[in-house]
Amino acid sequence: MDERDALAVARDTVVMATDAGADAAEATVSITRRFHVEARDKTIAKLEQSTGKGLHVRLFVGGRKVALSTSDFTPNVVRDAIRRAVDQSAHVAADPFAALPEDCGTYDGELNIYDPAVKERDDAVKVDDAIAMEAMIRDADHRVVNSGGSHYSDAASLVALANSNGFSASYTSTRANRSTSPVAVENDVKRTAHYGTAGRHFGDLEHNETVARIAARRAVEMFGARKPATMRVPVIFERDVAAAVLDDLFAALNAANVAVGNSWLAERVGDRIGSDLVTIYDDGTLPGRLGTTPFDGEGVPTRRTPVFERGELKTLLFDSYYARKMGAKTTGNSTGGGIGPNNFYLEPGFSTLEELIASTPRGVLVLDTIGFATEYASGTYSRGARGFYIENGELAYPVDEFTVAGSFASMLEGIDAVANDLRFDGSIVSPSFRVAEMTISGN
């Protein structure tokens, strides 16, 4: 099925819904072809190839919303499901904010989110990728004796959306990723690590050798780790951990959480919260990025939204439902069933991570965090962590079994350096950054 056929299914479904008595309707067709291989040493542990399809329908009847999903596109099956959904709407409470979005459309710039090379690569070559990474992590260091698996996967996805307000549009996108998880042993001490790379285009991926080398280094560099003393010091969050911090921040910016009081950012729009270095965007229009699409999950055109500018909170992030409920405008962040990121990122600086370390007389570089201890309502941050102790601007020795803690407000206010190592390998990403002072709880 191509985009034209998928759009026809979506449009026909909308007609069926209005014929069945719906006041308004929206239909989304999604078709995804997936490939995944996992290697362990010289053996293929998992090999999967599939094509999945789905039809998701939202119906609005007398101010009440109902939804249905099916993988069977047969007209009679869809028509019967819609009739049952319309009948069942009588048992749903009316909601004055439930409706189709008013400003549907598509971003009209070049997005470059499809790479034919992803679909055309030979499956045998993809398998060889995974096996090669397994060999490379072992070649990188003799202490790497096992792995949690080396992976290659890709997908080609088609999305078509139509609604009863006359909107219909579609797009096709691709993504690919490779990753590996080495296991190293020294003196009966086991260390594990992970590293991966992802992109819309196959050419965006880091090479097998790079992925394997970084992953192996991450595993072996933690041998001899000590538990640090409890102290207040500058903390550098390496880019992968920094992205996890932004993930927590996104949850506080999610209007659905704000609406129920589960966000420390409620009533804070317009406040200066972060330092001058805190400029954060959500941008669904960046060419070739993993969070880029021409429209969001309900047909609203994607856009570039300044969320923080030089520390000032400019906006929360909305779909059309919570925008109506909170007297705002949608920011094009609907997932079709909630609010999600497009490309959500902290604007990078000009220094390398190495320069951030060199300018830190004493502190901690956090390379990994463990556990979930974020309180979104209060804005409290606390994570188990491991990384390196910094002394005289150099990595002195590895440290683990400690907790790094603070509040999100103080963390954002305390960001005094941002690196230039931003990498768009997900929908929430960040360069490395340094917080001037945080609590390290160790010995």
Q: Where are the domains positioned within the chain?
A: 3-220, 224-443
Percent of the chain with pLDDT over 90: 96
| Angle of helix 208-220 versus helix 123-140 axis, rounded to 10 | 30
pLDDT at residue number 376? 81
Q: Are the C-beta atoms of residues 3 and 67 closer than 8 Å to each other?
A: no
State yes or no: pLDDT of 307 exceeds 80.
yes
pLDDT band at 119 (very low <50, low <70, confident <90, very high): confident
pLDDT of res. 190? 94
* pLDDT score for 122: 94
pLDDT (mean) for 432-438: 97
User: Is 34's pLDDT higher than 70?
Assistant: yes
Q: What is the model's pLDDT at position 129? A: 93
| pLDDT tier, 171 (very low <50, low <70, confident <90, very high otherwise) | very high
Q: Model confidence over 82-113: pLDDT tens digits?
A: 999 999 999 999 999 999 999 899 999 999 99
Cα separation values, 441 from 222, 227, 232, 401, Å:
19, 9, 9, 9
Reported as half-sphere exposure (CB side, CA atoms, 13 A), residue 429 has a value of: 21
Give the CATH class of 3-220: alpha beta
Look at the block and give the residue holding tokens 């609005």. 60
Across the chain, mean pLDDT equals 95
Using the Cα atoms of residue 291, residue 296, residue 302 and residue 304 in order, give the sign of their dihedral.
Answer: negative
Coil, strand or helix: which one is 367? strand
The conformation of residue 90, written as its DSSP 8-state character, comes to: G
C-alpha–C-alpha distance, residues 191 and 146, integer Å: 10
Name which of 266, 247, 280, 404 is nearest 326 in CA terms: 266
**311: region left, alpha or beta (phi > 0 left; psi from -120 to 50 alpha):** left
Alpha carbon of residue 343 to chain centroid: 8
Question: Residue 207's pLDDT is what?
Answer: 95
pLDDT digits (tens, 9 = 90+) for 207-236: 999 999 999 999 999 999 999 999 999 999
> What is the average per-residue pLDDT within 274-290?
98
Q: Does the structure show a pLDDT above 80 at 372? A: no
Please enumerate in sequence order all residues whose Cβ is within 8 A of that of 223, keeping only pairs 6 or more positions apart, or say none: 143, 184, 186, 189, 191, 398
Mean pLDDT over 409-421 rounds to 97
Q: What pLDDT does residue 373 have?
A: 62
pLDDT exceeds cutoff 80 at 371: no
Count CB atoms within 10 A of the CB of residue 409: 17
Contact 133, 208 (CB under 8 A): yes
Its pTM stands at 0.95
Segment (H or E) for 76: helix 75-88
For residues 155 and 417, give the distance between their C-alpha atoms in angstroms, rounded to a whole number: 37
- Region of 310 please: left (phi>0), alpha (psi -120 to 50) or beta: left
Query: Where residue 443 falls among pLDDT bands split at 50, 70, 90?
Result: confident
